[in-house]
Amino acid sequence: MHRRTLTIFFFMLLCTLLFAPQVFYAGPFDLNVIDTPKAYIPYRGDLNFEFSMYDRGGVLGNATLGIADFALLGIYFDVGQLIGSDEVLVEAPGVIARFLLSNGGSFLPPLAVGYSYFMKGEVHKVSGVTVSGLYIVATSAYFLFGTEQSVSYGFRYPVVPFHYAKPENSSLFVGTDIEIGPAFGIKGEIENVRFDRDRWEETFYNLSFGFNVIDVLNLSLELKYSPSIDKLVRLLKISYTTQF
């Protein structure tokens, strides 16, 4: 049943792309695709808040600030089982950082390195801890139906939890987003791609539908699927952007 539901959603995405009367430039100013990062630094003083409600009543929140043309800093916190009757699980806050190595003005595409949590949700935790670590990401432009879009791709290496920080737990990711109009956008990504073929079933396929309520407020429904769990996970994300 879950696989059939996922197939329907991807079919809806394909139909939307094929029959949309006009496709606008895909939002380059989002910090992330869904879970995976972009090689983008916001303007200095841009302050972004995000709150994601995930499975089993958990909430992951973060705040990031553009501190220079080449750097952003932030913090995230994860509270498991916040909604419901089970015991609340509070994790120690974590760091978010991103530094631009190339802005795409040379032969290199926009390129950045950073540190952040990897994937949202209870199904991604290791020993009850949200995985975080280092990453390198590039963002390139491509054309779809005569309109410039962007695709981000990169590599992750876990640091927390410490016993999980091993080369075999590193992974690849790729993601893109397409704005159908000023108030609606679709994102898709493939993450947690392992180098070990025996662990390819741990790959996650994510899809997001975003709605701009007002210019500074966005609501997103995120869907995640992996053969390793064989079920569709649903998340709700609220994003708010302002100036510091």
Q: How many CB atoms sit inside 10 A of residue 150's CB?
A: 23
Judged against a pLDDT cut of 60, whether residue 230 lies above it is answered with yes
Residue 232, helix vs strand vs coil: strand
Position 26 scores a pLDDT of: 37
Where do the domains of the chain lie? 2-243
Q: Render pLDDT for 6-35 as a digit per residue (tens, 0 to 9).
A: 444 444 444 444 343 333 333 446 899 999
Position 3 scores a pLDDT of: 53
What band does 85 get if pLDDT is binned at 50, 70 and 90?
A: confident
Q: Render pLDDT for 109-166 as a digit per residue (tens, 0 to 9).
A: 999 999 999 999 999 999 999 999 999 999 998 887 566 778 999 999 999 999 999 9
Higher-confidence residue: 198 or 1?
A: 198
The CATH class for the domain spanning 2-243 reads: mainly beta
Position 54 scores a pLDDT of: 95
Three-state SS for the chain is CHHHHHHHHHHHHHHHHHHCCCCECCCCCCCECCCCECCCCCCCCEEEEEEEEEHHHEEEEEEEEEEECCEEEEEEEEEECCCCCCCCEECCCEEEEEEEEECCCCCCCCEEEEEEECCCCHHHCECCECCEEEEEEEEEEEEECCEEEEEEEEEEEEEECHHHCCHHHCEEEEEEEEEEECCEEEEEEEEEECCCHHHHHHCEEEEEEEEEEECCEEEEEEEEEECCCCEEEEEEEEEEEEEC
